[in-house]
Amino acid sequence: MTDQHAARRGRPGYDQDGILEIAVAAFNQFGYDATSMGVLAERLGLSKSAIYHHFASKDEILERALAVALDALDGVIDETDAAGGRAADRLDRVLRGAVRVLVEKLPYVTLLLRVRGNTDVERSALERRRAFDRRVTALVSEAQAEGSIRSDIDVRVVERLLFGMINSIVEWYRPGGRETAEHLADDVVAVALDGLRMPTENRIEQLLG
């Protein structure tokens, strides 16, 4: 991080993180391509050269913004791995952690989910997303192997359905609404791991088999 450096050079009111926040909001609203450095400067009330004090290019702003989301997601799985325990419990923690990241870093995750791989920065972010997906998929495999989650579904399909559900939250979640991150994480885990259906006697017999 170069925050100290940035703060020393920045104009009052905007440090590097402050510029990043406004830029991400603009990228999400207008699209990355449609948001010029001129538009950003206008929104910030800064000159373009003042922005260039903090970031070498628009591409670097995007890179830093995507790293906020990716670092947070990687942090979830790193911490979970470090804590250890049964794979099913680690999967539970990864799902909860991903929901928390989505809620806490909503604009950054929204930006990440829109990346289509048009530039080197975007392709590199997609590669990091795929690496994250592979780690979650490996965790699903491990949980299947230990017999704690059902093993009749392809692990890649499981991973995609789980993160399809989690990522869709960016479409409707509004900060400050009735759903807190913890509550939403409980809901996701309830649907994905325990299922909506109340168990019936024969379903239980079938599963415990």
DSSP 8-class letter at 199:
P
Q: CB under 8 A: which stretch of 21-29, 59-67, 68-76, 178-186 binds a second copy? A: 178-186
Beta carbon nearer to a second copy, 8 or 178: 178
Among 44, 103, 158, 185, binds a second copy (CB under 8 A): 158
Q: Residue 143: CB partners within 8 Å, gap ≥ 6? A: 86, 87, 88, 90, 91, 149
The Cα–Cα gap between 166 and 164 comes to 6
Q: Is 164 in the site for a second copy (CB under 8 A)?
A: yes
Question: Residue 78, CB half-sphere, CA atoms under 13 Å: how many?
Answer: 6
Q: CB under 8 A: which stretch of 77-85, 104-112, 115-123, 181-189 binds a second copy? A: 181-189
Among 21, 71, 74, 187, binds a second copy (CB under 8 A): 187
Q: 142-147: long-range contacts at Cβ-Cβ below 8 A with a sequence spacing of 24 or more?
A: 142/87, 143/86, 143/87, 143/88, 143/90, 143/91, 145/87, 146/86, 146/87, 146/88
Among 88, 128, 135, 142, binds a second copy (CB under 8 A): 88
DSSP 8-class letter at 168:
G
Q: Is 194 in the site for a second copy (CB under 8 A)?
A: yes
Among 32, 55, 108, 163, binds a second copy (CB under 8 A): 163
Q: CB under 8 A: which stretch of 8-16, 18-26, 74-82, 146-154 binds a second copy? A: 146-154
Q: Tokens in use for 68?
A: 């906020």
Q: Is 154 in the site for a second copy (CB under 8 A)?
A: yes
Least separation in angstroms between CB 167 and a second copy: 7
| First-to-last C-alpha distance (Å) of the chain | 54
Interface residues toward a second copy, by CB under 8 A: 88, 143, 147-150, 152-154, 157-158, 160-169, 171-172, 178-179, 184, 187-188, 190-199, 203-204, 207-208
